[in-house]
Structure 1
Amino acid sequence: MKTNTYITLGLALAGIGCAATSVAIAQDDAFPDKPVEFIVPWSPGGGSDTLMRLVSAHAEEYLGEAMPVINMPGVSGTTGLKELARRDADGYTVGQVHEGLMVAHHTGLTAQNWDDFEPVAAVTQSPQYLTVNADSPYTTYQEFVEYAKANPGEIRFGVTLGGVPHVHAAMMEDAEDLSFRYVGFEGTGPRIRALVGGHIDAAIGDISSSGEFVKNGDLRFLAVGSAERQEVTPDVPTFTELGHDDLKLNIVRGILAPKGTPADRIATLASDFEAMSQNEDFITAVNNAGASVVFEGPEAFGDYLETTDATIERLAGKLAR
């Protein structure tokens, strides 16, 4: 009789265990069941904010919950990411990142780096162009390189010192064995206006900041850092076409989660962002903002961040100039 009692009790406990497992699975299947906060570590109205608000607006359809943007600007985008690292690793807070985090890390602005977080997905890409004044003596990339080699240190290259544009210019220096004279600007707008005014000779631009000036005949695009030519600039060659597979000049904006966020929740978020990336309205909105939609899942995005980090670390000495 005692044995039967133990058997009955064992079956009951097993049933409870199965029920608990079912409940846990059901709860996990319900993720997310409340809003997912989205920390954008830049000011309202900038390129990152504009694109990430498009992500926020379109993601809700796939997440099934709101994804409110919380702007936390400061210290080259590192203030908001510090806050992200402090948040619970439960999938209910994510943050935006681009190559600027690695630049900030290797120039000493922050101890944090991409691998202090969990990569979720890459969502947008903004191809960057080598941009010059239309009155410059070089009309092609090859002519630009020849001029720079013949006149080391003469080309005044506008950058955000210690920022992503500085990295991109340093990558060109490294690839072609050139030497630029860097001129620092706070942000893309002032840099491009200085280029239009002839106060500098070259800069890194993109469609949203420079496209209209190119159309008006004030500026000229010499090369683009995307893998393929852009539909809006079909006559502008890629650096790859020009013999530089290593010159990938893009700003890839993606999403991170706090370290330790469960893998199944990362996978759920990534799957929803992948579905969003195929939404035609989303694609059109991003294109209208001067960028393109790109999706990379956690592993591929992590690989991209790791490779980019190695490049920035290698060039960190140039960024001190």
Structure 2
Amino acid sequence: MTRFTFSPSPRSFTTTLAAIGLAGLSFSAAVQADYPEQDIRLIIPFGPGGATDIIFRLVSQEAEQHLGESIVPVNMAGAGATLGSRNVKDAPANGYTLLGSHDTIALSNLAGMVDYSYDAFEPVALLTQTINIATTYAGHEVQSADEIAAYVSEHPGQVHFSMIPSSTDHFFWAQFFEEAGIDMADVRLVGYPDTGEQVSALMAKEVDFAMFNLPSGGAFFEDGSFRALGIAHPERLQSMPEVATLREQGIEMDHSTSRGIFAPKGTPQDIVDQIATAYGQALENDDLQSRIENEFGSVVRYLAGDDYQQFLDDNQRALSDAAANIDFQN
């Protein structure tokens, strides 16, 4: 039997590999060009019904009209919002599993709950910000945020601030104390399991101050139960034009819950861009903007690409600075 052997020269072997590589790239590009071809799961690491859940559902419902496939929200609460983020972090990087979350990604890392932060994901787009508000109960002698430092000085060790440990408001107060010149040794931080408990505590005057926003405190601001002391935003809120910003009061601080979309690390950039574009188009809807602003006390702030990456870098830096003043063991 005659045997035939083929011994390619180095040049012909290299040419063959190059051809295979080009074919692979062409196939990959064709696959990505067809994206999306099936439903996309949006993991929301919180329970249903809260502002985060509702805002992501509203915007995603509009965004899917621009993608041509359904975006299916999946609530995956647990482990301080890290169950859902870990699920997305470990998911295939193909654009069919996304994360809808906020600052809690960095907060969980700084609190030592997880060993990853924003850099474990591909940032897709910032969508909204819910502006946070320094708050007290009606009848408290403090009338504005710039009076808090003097009040603490007059009552050292007796002034109580509510917070959820390692959550947004914990960092809010750490940053506030730094900017307002308040020694943390002179205040008492009181931990509560959720926002509802904080509302009850402030209503009962168990604490002097709390951090709320319009979704959590709007009804109480409106009926006069709570007094808004300062808006942590460069501009006053349209729905509360009479309340000065913290910056207007000499406290150089902005603070908000910044909600955005993330993809698993390694997701192709053209897929990331396609998703970001769809969400950007969704936020151009006037009715959607109105609902976000009027029903949820939030502002539309769309950032994508390098702008969103820079925002996350700045956010991580600010939170890290605040974390230096927090004892997470207590």
Distance 1:17 1:185 in 2: 57
Unaligned runs of 5+ in 1: 1-14
Letter in 2 for 1:108: G
1:52 aligned to which of 33, 42, 56: 56
CA apart distance, 1:318: 2.9
CA apart distance, 1:185: 0.9
Match of residue 75 from structure 1: 79
Letter in 1 for 2:250: G
CA apart distance, 1:210: 1.0
Distance 1:77 1:299 in 2: 26
Letter in 2 for 1:230: L
CA contact (8 A) 1:161 1:319 kept: no
Match of residue 4 from structure 1: none
1:16-61 Cα deviation digits (max 9, x unpaired):
9999977765543332222111000111112211211112222111
CA contact (8 A) 2:59 2:283 kept: no
Match of residue 298 from structure 1: 305
Match of residue 287 from structure 2: 281
Matched, 1:260 2:266: yes
Moved over 6 A (4+): 15-23
CA contact (8 A) 1:119 1:299 kept: no
Distance 1:313 1:32 in 2: 37
Distance 2:79 2:25 in 1: 45
Match of residue 69 from structure 2: 65
Distance 2:25 2:80 in 1: 44
Where do residues 215-226 of structure 1 align in structure 2 (5 Å cutoff)?
Answer: 215-226=222-233
Matched, 1:203 2:207: no
TM-score under structure 2 length normalisation:
0.87
Match of residue 249 from structure 1: 255
**Identity over the aligned pairs, expressed in percent?**
29
CA apart distance, 1:85: 1.1
Equivalent position SS for 2:248: coil
Q: How many residues align?
A: 307
Distance 2:131 2:45 in 1: 21
Equivalent position SS for 2:325: helix
1:68-103 Cα deviation digits (max 9, x unpaired):
011111111111111101111011111022111211
1:243-295 Cα deviation digits (max 9, x unpaired):
334x1110001011000011111111111111111111211222212322211
TM-score under structure 1 length normalisation:
0.89
Task: Give the direction of change, closer, same or farther, for the CA distance of 1:90–1:140 in structure 2 (3 Å limit).
Answer: same
Task: Give the direction of change, closer, same or farther, for the CA distance of 1:54–1:258 in structure 2 (3 Å limit).
Answer: same
Which has the higher mean CA deviation after the structures are superposed, 127-136 or 58-67?
A: 58-67
Distance 1:268 1:204 in 2: 36
Matched, 1:95 2:99: yes
1:139 aligned to which of 134, 143, 154: 143
Matched, 1:183 2:190: yes
Distance 2:230 2:244 in 1: 5
Letter in 1 for 2:191: G
2:125 aligned to which of 113, 121, 128: 121
Unaligned runs of 5+ in 2: 1-18
Matched, 1:105 2:109: yes
Letter in 1 for 2:46: W
Q: Over the residues paired in the alignment, what is the CA RMSD in angstroms?
A: 2.2
1:147-183 Cα deviation digits (max 9, x unpaired):
1233233221010011110000110111112132111
Distance 2:29 2:267 in 1: 17
CA contact (8 A) 1:125 1:292 kept: yes
Distance 1:231 1:17 in 2: 56
CA contact (8 A) 1:124 1:293 kept: yes
Equivalent position SS for 1:300: helix
CA contact (8 A) 1:119 1:257 kept: yes
CA contact (8 A) 1:122 1:295 kept: yes
Distance 1:260 1:311 in 2: 26
